[in-house]
Structure 1
């Protein structure tokens, strides 16, 4: 399986204003240093990364030059690549945003950053919900719900991912306060949006033990999430009962053991073969909705050979939507989902961590691999 691709950004100025009673660091970094403030972000990120030292051979860190990540990663012996070079000695919000833009091109599994609410805002401005992120608390203000409760806790969450544990994804609020008003004794909090954040798992224990009715509710929730995020793209709907719930929720005929195609929530082609799917997908943006075979974990190459390697390459990794109940994922006992497209190079390209839809606005991060491929 591929190494875990961890993006890493440190805001070197985060937390400077706290110890010298400036109630923040925004626009007062020089004053804080004059007052004797010492940077905290490096130390806080070091505490998080220390948790990962026993697993560092499994990780490649994509980071920024100097104090924004390079110095710490290299001093701790991590394998890292520099993808953004700051052009100033004193970094600022523009550096953070430009770094995020570069990191989005690196097929990351997770972006880990050290900072405060201002840093979270800067990252949100670029990443939106394109990538799971996790904050290492290092700022004066930590109102946003995108941080571990401690630096060590942030490291533990990443460690869970590396161990193959079922880690939920949730939406965390990006919040910040008006520091100028705060220094005058007024608390004015503003919500800027949400980012996807891996969290300690809250498992739905044995969904099927509650009976068919409970299972159906979970499938309906999964379907509702998929449908809510449908735009005007073409959607190829794979086989299996979990995916069939999407068609049922839309009131459309479904080929349970075949592959159907919908657009604008209407069925345009049923039970399609490989060549038919290629013809449809060649002229428009296409997304693929698939699930796993229970017990085996295959998502490609078992029962859906209509989804050819050529088609998957055309669609692209980012347009594959995996849906599954947490019960089915837990039954794999940590084993990855399997791709077996018949094209080893494609299988290698498809490996990594995916956001799997497990309910309505309920997701987990889960690894995809081909056990026959060795890095």
Structure 2
């Protein structure tokens, strides 16, 4: 019997597709822009996969939208712990921390949480305060997912939580979202947590170095008239924006066509409105992790990708460090269609084949 504590941050990731680059202190603004809850569906995918393992498990969870709802939806009959809000209405970090303390009292074997880096900090710091080494594992649902305590996908999280045999220690990182929205990434180590040993656990965010000027020059030389380019976040694509001479956003998504910046720092709806007959999404994998979709660029949604071709750019060093590309769009069929070998631009003229797994 494996006893698993399940907690869901129901607002995690809401700011992604509407261009807010996070949801910390931005929930009402995200809702005003039409954001929909993302975390419950991600948690449901994880619990569906957990159930499919046929491992004998017992779930302990927080009430309502913090875990109970998705647990019951997936056929579990969980034990429910108390949290300050009772699991209804607006939840807070205090609710997550209260749930984790209750999980420890229930002697769970692992805490399976759904959220982003902020949620990971809440879980890890609570266990640290209790001087408890219960393993944790994250179902990725936030905009920022830089910590090394997350699975590469929701389904992977469910499988690993049910089947892991060994543990190791991993970093929990977070960034200041206000700085992030201004184009600065300042990663701070917040905790060290116990996590399952698993190939499907992502690495922590690492910044790759090296000149990408040749990549930008070669890409711009090859750009075509009449094509709409959706330019993702990051320093490598940022060099392309600089080469174009546009005032793009370094950590947001911009849209360019025929010499004109159509959208700056756009949300999903802005990007969709700007699409033309031919569209190219330009992205660079996250250093140390390899994700090209689903980490910090949720504005480039499945609806955008399905109407576009995909161009990946990266330095040689970054590709050497990551070994493979990954995707986590939230649409399993789309992710499957993207898997396989891709020609990644690594220089002005050079390309390298690398597999998206």
Counterparts of 1:127-142 in structure 2 under 5 Å? 127-128=127-128, 129-142=132-145
State the distance in 2 between where 1:90 and 1:60 align. 27
TM-score using structure 1 length: 0.50
**What is the DSSP-based 3-state SS (H/G/I as helix, E as strand, rest coil) of the residue aligned with 2:81?**
strand
Closer, same or farther in 2 for the Cα pair 1:106/1:34, shift >3 Å? Answer: same
- Report the alpha carbon displacement of residue 130 of structure 1 after superposing the two structures with TM: 2.2
- TM-score of the pair, normalised by structure 2: 0.52
How far residue 55 of structure 1 moved from its aligned partner, in angstroms, is: 4.7
Residues 61 and 81 in structure 2, CA contact (< 8 A), matched pair in contact too? yes
The answer to whether the 8 Å contact 2:2/2:162 transfers is no
Equivalent residue number for residue 153 of structure 2 = 150
Contact 1:168 1:201 in 2 (8 A): no
- Post-superposition offset of 1:201: 6.7
Other-structure match for 1:114: 114
Partner of 1:48: 46
After the TM superposition, which parts of structure 1 deviate over 4 Å for at least 4 consecutive aligned residues? Answer: none
Matches of 1:59 and 1:35, distance apart in 2: 39
CA contact 1:8–1:113 (8 Å) conserved in 2: yes
Superposition deviation, residue 199 in structure 1: 2.2
Asked if the contact 2:12/2:142 (under 8 Å) is kept, the reply is: yes
Whether 2:26 is the aligned partner of 1:28: answer yes
Rounded Cα–Cα distance in structure 1 between residues aligned with 2:166 and 2:55: 24
Superposed counterparts of 1:45-194, under 5 Å:
45-55=43-53, 58-85=56-83, 86-87=85-86, 88-128=88-128, 129-161=132-164, 167-194=165-192
Tell me, in whole angstroms, the C-alpha distance in 2 between the residues paired with 1:160 and 1:102.
23
Which position in structure 2 is the counterpart of 1:13? 11
| Contact preservation (8 Å) 1:51, 1:159 | no
Per-residue deviation at 1:158? 2.3
CA contact (8 A) 1:56 1:79 kept: no
Unaligned runs of 5+ in 2: 201-357
Q: Which runs of 5+ in 1 are unaligned?
A: 162-166, 203-375
Displacement of 1:159 in angstroms is 3.6
CA RMSD of aligned residues (A): 1.7
Alpha-carbon displacement from aligned partner over 1:322-357 (angstroms, at most 9, x marks no partner): xxxxxxxxxxxxxxxxxxxxxxxxxxxxxxxxxxxx
Whether the 8 Å CA contact 1:61–1:79 is kept in 2: the answer is: yes
Partner of 2:337: none
- Partners of 1:92 and 1:191 lie apart in 2 by 22
Counterpart position of 1:212? none
Larger CA Rg, structure 1 vs 2: 1
Q: How far apart are residue 160 of structure 1 and its match?
A: 2.3
Contact 2:50 2:155 in 1 (8 A): no
Q: Which SS does the other structure have where 1:136 is aligned?
A: strand
Tell me how far apart the structure 1 counterparts of residues 98 and 149 of structure 2 sit (CA, whole Å): 20
2:55, 2:163 within 8 Å by CA — same for their partners in 1? no
Inter-partner Cα distance in structure 2 for 1:175 and 1:78? 32
Q: Distance in 1 between matches of 2:35 and 2:197?
A: 32
In the alignment, is the contact (CA less than 8 A) between 1:56 and 1:78 conserved in 2? no
How many pairs does the alignment contain? 195
